[in-house]
Amino acid sequence: MAFNVQQVAGRILNWVGAVLLALPLSSNTFSQEASTVSMNTVEHQQLMQLLQAIEPYHPRTDVTGTATLAGSTTMTILGQNWSERFKLFHKDVVFTRGVDGGDAALRSLAKDPNVIAGISRSLTDKEIADLKAGACKDPMIFIVALDPMAVYVHKDNPLQSLTPEQMQKLFGAGSDGKPKVSKWGELGVQGAMAEQPIRIHHRSSISGTRNFIKTSILGGLELAEPAQTHESNTNICTAISKDPNGIAMCGFGDGNEGVRPLALELNNQRIEANESSFLAGKYPIVRPLSLILDKSLLAKDNGLREAIIRYILSRDGQLEAIRAGFYPLDPNFLRQEIAQLTGTQLR
């Protein structure tokens, strides 16, 4: 079975300017504070050089008004940080919090075009059509940060890597709704642990992480029933650190000392799930963090939404993404995203 990662509007660039996430995942083409993301000095310098190449935020005019941010719980802290820092430039702007969850935020935007919806996955064609059929007649999507994802296990788990096929069997549901593999020996683990049960941890049903696994890893098939669900990726990693049989997919910034990310076995090559692989453009399991808004309101809110997007896509906004445990975008790609404010709409 082939992996199927949806195209992210054909518009994500990786660190060396090549297209990232625009290819389907298969066995052939698999597709905080900065200190909270574990990295060595070279990687830190790479990020700092990248940030220096991004334009800082320069307010074009003073803006006022109220903006409602809704959506992905993965992006909650990031959205709060953006709101607080944006108000340092525009003190009279008021931010309110809408519904939690990417799916709920899209439904909210379809009813109320004043909402700015955050999602931690790609939009489907049907979701875009549903927005246009509702009150959001001219939806625009802005990719605002990247979140590399890894499969985590307990630090003492002997398993070192997974193939795409193993990931599908692990997370995909069988006819009984359960994983297609149930014991660690089925994933190649030997010794006493081989007969131990696999315990899958997932986010709640409203989570974009869960939807990402379904659409990108399983090609739209249903997820297996988890042993436990959690309200955040950080909570998942905390739980796995206490569960020797636990396993889950979370972002790079969510791990802790009690868990360990598994490498990816692809085309007889082991790709480590770490910052070096990602920064080199080798690690492919990456999801976009995006904001969706109604373009028609850009001309009606006295510049509020345009200023918010320009701030988020500036050096100031991208630094907040790093502080929240995510990764900034390529400067050339950022310029393309900003150009949407006066150019191309989401088709």
Q: How many domains does the chain have?
A: 2
Q: Are residues 237 and 268 in the same domain?
A: yes
Position 244 in a domain:
yes
Q: What is the pLDDT along the chain (347 residues), one digit of tens a residue?
A: 333 333 322 223 333 333 233 223 333 323 333 333 445 666 677 777 888 889 999 998 899 999 999 999 889 999 999 999 999 999 999 999 999 999 999 999 999 999 999 999 888 899 999 999 999 999 999 999 999 999 999 999 999 999 999 999 999 999 898 899 999 999 999 999 999 999 999 988 777 888 889 888 998 899 999 999 998 888 999 999 999 999 999 999 888 999 999 999 998 899 999 988 988 889 999 999 999 999 999 989 999 999 999 999 999 999 999 999 899 999 999 999 999 887 644 43
Q: Which of 259, 279, 299 is the last residue of a domain?
A: 279
Q: Are residues 194 and 241 in the same domain?
A: yes
Residues 235 and 233: their CA atoms lie apart, in Å, by 5
CATH number, domain containing residue 236: 3.40.190.10
Residues 92 and 87: their CA atoms lie apart, in Å, by 7
DSSP assignment letter at 134: T
- Cα-to-chain-centroid distance, residue 196: 31
Q: Are residues 273 and 334 in the same domain?
A: no
Contact 249, 74 (CB under 8 A): no
Residues 312 and 70: their CA atoms lie apart, in Å, by 16
Q: Are residues 162 and 224 in the same domain?
A: yes
Position 15 in a domain:
no
Q: Are residues 251 and 305 in the same domain?
A: no
Q: Are residues 154 and 270 in the same domain?
A: yes
Domain assignment of residue 137, given as a range? 34-147+287-339
Residues 21 and 29: their CA atoms lie apart, in Å, by 10
Q: Are residues 138 and 159 in the same domain?
A: no
Q: Are residues 120 and 158 in the same domain?
A: no
pTM of the model: 0.81
| Residue-wise DSSP of 224-256 | PPPSEEESSHHHHHHHHHT-TTEEEEEEGGG--
